[in-house]
Amino acid sequence: MKPILGITMGDAAGIGPEIIAKALMDREIYTIARPVVIGDKKVMERAVEIAGAGLQCRAVDGPEAAGSEYGVIDIIDLSNLPADLPWGTIDARAGKAAYEYIEKAINYALKKEIHAVVTAPLNKEALNLGGHHFPGHTEILAQLGGVKNYAMMLVGGSLRVIHATTHVSLRNACDLIKKERVLRVIELADQALKLLGIDRPRIAVAGLNPHSGEGGLFGREDMEEIAPAVELVRQKGIHAIGPIAPDTVFYRTAIKKQFDIVVVMYHDQGHIPIKLLGFENGVNVTVGLPFIRTSVDHGTAFDIAGKGIADSRSMTESLRLGAQMACQKSF
């Protein structure tokens, strides 16, 4: 039995529909999963045309009828948008529709009618203009999924990272590095890697300050918040080490293969190395939800939308990883 992947179309004015069409040209996806797009059939037909995909779009009533035939993109058609929605523009209609695709997918996932949610990118400004005031996908997923403890994990190239803080200012991120949060993110990292088939994950915990604070000389957060969290999870049997100096931890993980993942303390500490090593094929995973969610690790790329030149590798990897995690979870 193959897992059903619910693919949300994202902001229809961006490259989301195009990269979905291109990814579903890959026959391998249909050998490992049953994909179904949650979006607008008219928009997907336009995307198939500009992508030169040569695929048929077919409306289906629900996930149970989806993803059985290579060469056909099955779509749960919400019919929210006109076929001539302008490419590459911020549009409240597209923002509102993008939210509704996610909402529909989560409803299916909570009822276990789909086994993983795979999301194309949305535009935060359009989302807010459409009446949904969230900083991004992760916060929507957490609210609709009914969870408060969650984290962003990125997978790219030879590296995995998971974030203690994400979309806040650097000044605020420092204030949010508390023992309880770091402890919880280490636990989430352990759970996520087990869903990737790693029985005993090796978890590196990055320091916050230069040289992990140098014994308090460059800041006390590492010794007062991070180190105690690491000690507590080790007592629970989790194989975590840290805080490790941020200027060496990624080398030790991505190159020397001493660890399976790095717990990072703020947005750019994790995003910069991931985008250096896996910019084209990076995957974003929201950990801690009651369902599996993977996503492309890039935005709507309005500057190239509608031109047929978008790179779909991140979407393809998101589909593969979503299927892998769903199978490991046994649906």
Taking the chain (331 residues) in consecutive chunks of 10 residues, what is each chunk's mean pLDDT? 95 97 96 97 96 92 89 96 94 97 97 96 95 88 92 93 93 96 97 92 97 90 97 97 97 97 97 89 93 93 95 96 88 65
Q: What is the CATH number of the domain that holds 251?
A: 3.40.718.10
| Domain annotation covers residue 278 | no
Residue 47: its pLDDT value, please? 96
- Predicted local distance difference test score (pLDDT) of residue 311: 95
Specify whether 320 is located in the same domain as 188. Answer: no
Q: Are residues 85 and 175 in the same domain?
A: no
Residues 263 and 305 in one domain: no
In the chain, how many domains are there? 2
Residues 143 and 156 in one domain: no
Q: Which domain holds residue 110?
A: 4-147+289-328
Whether 281 maps to a domain, the answer reads no
Same domain, 47 and 132: yes
CA dist list (Å): 40 to 30, 87, 288, 324: 21, 15, 29, 27
Residue 228 inside a domain? The answer is: yes
Residue 283 lies in a domain: no
Residue 279, in any domain of the structure: no
Say if residue 136 is in the same domain as residue 161.
no
What pTM did the predictor assign? Answer: 0.91
What is the structure's pLDDT at 1? Answer: 84
Burial class (CB in 10 A: 0-12, 13-18, 19+), 224: middle
Q: What is the pLDDT of residue 305?
A: 96
Q: Within this chain, do residues 52 and 131 fall inside the same structural domain, yes or no?
A: yes
Q: What confidence score (pLDDT) does residue 231 get?
A: 97
Does one domain contain both 53 and 155? no
What pLDDT score was predicted for residue 66?
86
d(CA 181, CA 176): 8
The closest alpha carbon to 266, from 181, 180, 196, 146, belongs to 181
